[in-house]
Amino acid sequence: MTKPKNIYTITVMEDVDLFTNKVSSPSRTMGWYPSLKRAKETLHNNTGNLHECLYMFAVIEKTQEGVFPICDERWWYGWKKNAWVAIDEPKEVYNIVNFGIG
């Protein structure tokens, strides 16, 4: 049996709404990579200007291939002092299953 393939999506969002417990629009999945290392490098280098002077949060999600996939793991980042830095997952999004695909 073949091991399922994973992809790592990068999704950026303007803000997390503390009152409605959801992501405020706009949000956008910028792309995906076949490895976590490449996804993290892209985010840390702000490749393609992922921040776009607008997006304050980013999440990398590990997702298996297939229809209606569910995120297995995710890594959160915030835009601080002109760089993406790792942060704890905002409590407002604990109940959201997928951002990148879903």
Instruction: Convert the pLDDT of each residue in 11-24 to its tens digit.
Output: 998 877 655 555 66
Query: Higher-confidence residue: 101 or 88?
Result: 88
Which whole number is the average pLDDT over 25-49?
91
Q: Is the pLDDT of residue 25 over 60?
A: yes
Averaging pLDDT over each range in 12-16, 78-82, 89-93, which range is the top one?
A: 78-82
pTM of the model: 0.86
Q: Are 59 and 16 in contact (CB under 8 A)?
A: no
9 burial type by CB count under 10 A (0-12 exposed, 13-18 middle, 19+ buried): buried
Average confidence (pLDDT) over 72-76? 93
